[in-house]
Each structure stands twice: as structure tokens, then as C-alpha cells.
Amino acid sequence: MMPTDRSGSDALVRLTDVRKSYFSHRVETPVLHGIDLTMQRGDFLAIMGQSGSGKSTLMNILGCLDTPTSGSYVLAGQAVGQLSRAELAGLRNRTIGFVFQSFNLLKRMSILDNVALPLVYAGVARKRARERALLQLEKVGLADLAKRQPNQLSGGQQQRVAIARALVAEPPLILADEPTGNLDTRTSADIMAVFAQINQARGQSIILVTHEPDIAACAKRLVRLKDGLVLYDGPAREGLHQLQQDDATEQARRATRPAEATV
């Protein structure tokens, strides 16, 4: 989508030795222990990890919602570490489209205005913003519902609206945090089809956080996190295969241990 890369090595996302600790009562709790991650434009990346692995923290840092304790993060050529809160907001607005687990549409606002909101914050005139929002709603097949309120829509429909909102300002990166977490299996498949389609047809870069292997299987590349470190970074197919084996050995160990105890 963005053919103006100055060089081939100009990655969309480049994390170098990113560490993040939380402090409460001066006690340091490290969550990320040094993450290196590079993502080229057009990639479709899934991040997996059990709870406590640091995937939410990583997601917040990738989304410029939080800043690393140390290390550097360069997003679309912009070093994130030096930016003020207002500049971070501008960077999020231009560069990232968010899709959340709980949809996070604004109540009291029509579907159309929800989708138009990123453009409004970008300073686009309201009329123009609504036109573009309607166009985006057409692409996810919900133009008929433009005048409705979010609570009048099903979960799947709400998530489609959220995707339309994420895409409306044409950001180079989509960040999806457990986008199917609140949806049934069939709706989940529909939503994942939308992601796969925008990645293939438009070369839209996507980072997807999930704990479900079925969902991660839609991605091209898999990053597995464990205890704040990257455990695996490579093609999704091999990664998921490895995950399956790991799970199998884990289960086997669990199954054998009580047996040993009885002997």
C-alpha cells in the first residue's frame, strides 16, 4: 500500500532489545526481557503466548499506547521513544488501526460516526470523513447499518465496524488484539477471512495477538513469547507445528508424572 519506502531495509516495525518493567511501590517487575522484532510492510504476523508471557505488554508498546523502559522502537521510520503524548497520538492516528477484543465502539454514536472518528481526529472535515467512512463500511458489507447504534449490532457486525474504523484512515499497520476472543467459531472464521483478504488484496500489514492456534494459522508468520522473551519467530505453519509438539510433550509429561508417583 505504501510504495514510497526509501530503501528495501526500511522495515515498518523495528524493535531492538525492548525491555519493559512495571513498578509498584518501587519494586520492579520485569515483563519484557529484551525483545527484538522486525516486520516488513505487507507481512501478517501472529503473536502467541500464554497469559503472563508479556504479549499484552508487547502489544501496548507496538501500539504506541505504552513506552518501553529501555530499548528502541522505530515505527514507520519514526523513533517512538522521543515523542510527546500528543505526537504519539498523531502517530497512532496516522500509522495504526486498532481492533480490540471487546470491539470498543463508542456508545451514543452512530456506526458511521464511529468509523469516521479517526478521520475527524486527523482533521478531515466531517462531511468528507462521513463519505470515506461510508465507503469503508461498504467494503465490510455494513453500509445499510450506518445509522444504527453499536448496541443494535451483533458481535460479528460490531467487529466488522471496528475493522472498518481501523482501516478508514489507511494506516500502514493494523493491530488486532484477540479480535475473535468474544466471538463464536463461525463468526471468528468470518472475521479472520476479512483480515486475510485485506492482507492479500491490499498488502495491509497486520499484527494479530491471539492464544488460539486456529486463529494464528491465518497469519504468515508466528512469534511465540514465553516469560518476556521470543521463543519462536518464523513461518506460521512450522511454528504452529512446533507448538503442537510442545503441547503434546507437556501433556505426556503431565500424564506420566502421576503414574510415576504411584509406582
C-alpha span between 207 and 175 (Å, rounded): 5
- CA nearest neighbour of 109 among 158, 160, 169: 158
Which stretch in 30-38, 69-77, 106-114, 186-194 sits in contact with other proteins by CB under 8 A? Answer: 106-114
Q: Are strands 205-209 and 221-226 parallel, antiparallel or unpaired?
A: unpaired
The distance of closest approach from Cβ of residue 107 to other proteins in the complex, given in angstroms and rounded to an integer, is 8
Which stretch in 34-42, 117-125, 183-191, 220-228 sits in contact with other proteins by CB under 8 A? Answer: 117-125
User: Could you tell me how many residues of this chain bind other proteins (CB under 8 A)?
Assistant: 28
C-alpha span between 61 and 54 (Å, rounded): 11
Q: What is the grid cell recorded at 226?
A: 514465553
Q: Is 147 in the site for other proteins (CB under 8 A)?
A: no
The distance of closest approach from Cβ of residue 92 to other proteins in the complex, given in angstroms and rounded to an integer, is 5
Which stretch in 60-68, 70-78, 212-220, 250-258 sits in contact with other proteins by CB under 8 A? Answer: 60-68
Q: Is 248 in the site for other proteins (CB under 8 A)?
A: no
C-alpha span between 90 and 87 (Å, rounded): 5
Q: Is 86 in the site for other proteins (CB under 8 A)?
A: yes
Q: Is 172 in the site for other proteins (CB under 8 A)?
A: no
Q: Which residue shows C-alpha cell 506460521?
A: 236
Nearer to other proteins, 95 or 157 (CB): 95
Q: Is 106 in the site for other proteins (CB under 8 A)?
A: yes
Q: Which residue shows C-alpha cell 530499548?
A: 71
CB 37 within 8 A of CB 230: yes
Q: Is 54 in the site for other proteins (CB under 8 A)?
A: no
Q: Is 226 in the site for other proteins (CB under 8 A)?
A: no
Q: Is 203 in the site for other proteins (CB under 8 A)?
A: no
Alpha carbon 30 to its chain's center: 22
Q: Is 109 in the site for other proteins (CB under 8 A)?
A: yes
Q: Is 63 in the site for other proteins (CB under 8 A)?
A: yes
The distance of closest approach from Cβ of residue 78 to other proteins in the complex, given in angstroms and rounded to an integer, is 15
- CA nearest neighbour of 14 among 57, 77, 70, 69: 77
Q: Is 121 in the site for other proteins (CB under 8 A)?
A: yes
For the chain, the 3-state helix, strand and coil shares in percent, each to the nearest 5, are 45, 25, 30
CB 109 within 8 A of CB 161: no
How distant, in Å, are the alpha carbons of 38, 64, 75, 196, 213 from that of 41? Answer: 10, 18, 11, 15, 23
Which stretch in 36-44, 118-126, 182-190, 238-246 sits in contact with other proteins by CB under 8 A? Answer: 118-126
Q: Which residues bind other proteins (CB under 8 A)?
A: 60, 63, 65-66, 85-86, 89-90, 92-94, 98, 100, 104, 106-109, 117-118, 120-123, 125-126, 165, 169
